[in-house]
Amino acid sequence: MARKARSFGQSTELSLTSLMDVMTIILVFLLKQVDAEGQLVTAAENLVLPTSTSKKVPTEVSMGVVVDQNWVLVDGQQITETRKVAEQDSLLVEALDRVLQEKRAVEKEAMLQRGEDAEGGGKVIIQLDKNTHFGIMYKVMATCGLSGFSNISFAVNMKNAED
């Protein structure tokens, strides 16, 4: 069979089917990429998170502390009432400290078994309602720091900042 020679001045038609396939693949890839960069933390249902213009995204979630109007929760477990935290004079919240010390000991042991430095880690994400009193937030942060969770991040809603 002889091949048909193409001259350079002659126009050719593009196949729309193959172009549609390529565009569909690109679209699916981009949608998956956006979904993978979505929320790392599911916000508690009864909180209104503060808004932030920060572009920094936490890399890994180790543990979550939620402070709502009624309770202080660690990984979904009720620890102490928020009212009691607000009323106390000490920066150290005893009930929260006990739970955090236990979780930090477990985390250190797991890090040692993996051959990592046990002094690393200590990451916690705190979720607070945007109307939470500063004193409550300060006491929870201080307790986290004293318990070995010194790498503290706050869960916020990202605001689209215009540069």
Give the model confidence (pLDDT) of 87-131 as tens digits. 999 888 899 999 998 988 888 888 888 887 767 767 888 888 888
Q: Are 103 and 116 in contact (CB under 8 A)?
A: no
Residues linked to residue 51 through DSSP beta bridges, in sequence order: 157
**In angstroms, how far apart are the furthest CA atoms of the chain?**
94
pLDDT given for residue 59 in this prediction: 62
Domain 51-158 belongs in CATH node 3.40.1110? no
In sequence order, the 6+-apart residues with CB closer than 8 A to the CB of 158 are 51, 52, 53, 54
The count of other CB atoms within 10 Å of the CB of residue 159 is 11
* Paired tokens of 25: 């693949």
Dihedral of CA 113/116/118/122: which sign?
negative
Whether pTM exceeds 0.85 = no
